[in-house]
Amino acid sequence: MPLQLYDKEQILETCLAVFARHGYAKTSTGMLAEAAGISKALIFHHFKSKKDLYLSLLDYCLDKVKKHLSIDDLPHDEDFFEAKEKLSLAKLEFFRKYPDVYKVTMETFHTPPSELKEEIAERYGEQFAFRDRFWKQLFAKVPLREGVNREEAFELIMLAIKHFEHRFLSEASDEHEFDEAYHKRLLDERNRFLNMIRFGIER
């Protein structure tokens, strides 16, 4: 591997930990340079700006995510709820192995930095659209009670899932060891919420 490319990847790996801990807005180029043990000039030799570095880092992170969490690996005739459960368990394992990658990507796409919203939407919009189409296609096979609006039901379920993803992120600490038992309890709680939506709560 060429030395320059290796150096660039080393910079991304080091900066990943800084962004995961402090977030985009609170991370300065000085913090990144200090963590990497290099000068700001060397960082900007590889990246035009902090924004360019962060977008390159997202590409780097998403490559890792795709290798471990691709929805392409899920059967297109699988039950919607079983597929969600399978992917959630895979995310749990991925978070255990790569907590910084998971935290940066999830935070970016759930609450993107204001100055990056347009670039992120343009750069990754098609990937989001493909993911949404996949889940809607699976959900289209779920039998619903008469009178239930399928679009509204899908939106309600996705809102519940996003709520637990936000909790997962807000309660995950990069300063403590990964607590698999805790996160499995959170996943079980999410599944109970989904079952209440799926099967109803009124006797």
Residue ranges per structural domain of the chain: 3-199
- Could you give the CA distance from residue 203 to residue 201 in angstroms, rounded to a whole number? 6
Nearest Cα residue to 10 out of 59, 52, 57, 55: 57
Could you tell me the fold of the domain covering 3-199?
Tetracycline Repressor; domain 2 (1.10.357)
Burial 175-199 (b: 16+ CB within 10 A, else e): eeeeeeeebeebbeebbeebeeeee
Burial 15-45 (b: 16+ CB within 10 A, else e): bbbbbbbeebeebeeeebbebbebeeeebee
CB within 8 Å of 15: residues ≥ 6 apart: 32, 35, 36, 53, 57
Question: Collapsing DSSP states into helix, strand and coil, what is residue 163?
Answer: helix
| pTM across the whole model | 0.77
pLDDT in tens, the chain (203 residues): 343 444 778 888 889 999 998 889 899 988 988 887 877 787 877 888 889 999 999 999 998 888 888 777 777 778 999 999 888 888 888 888 888 998 898 888 888 888 888 889 898 888 888 889 999 999 999 999 999 999 999 999 999 998 988 887 777 654 445 677 888 888 899 999 999 999 988 87
- Could you give the CA distance from residue 79 to residue 59 in angstroms, rounded to a whole number? 30
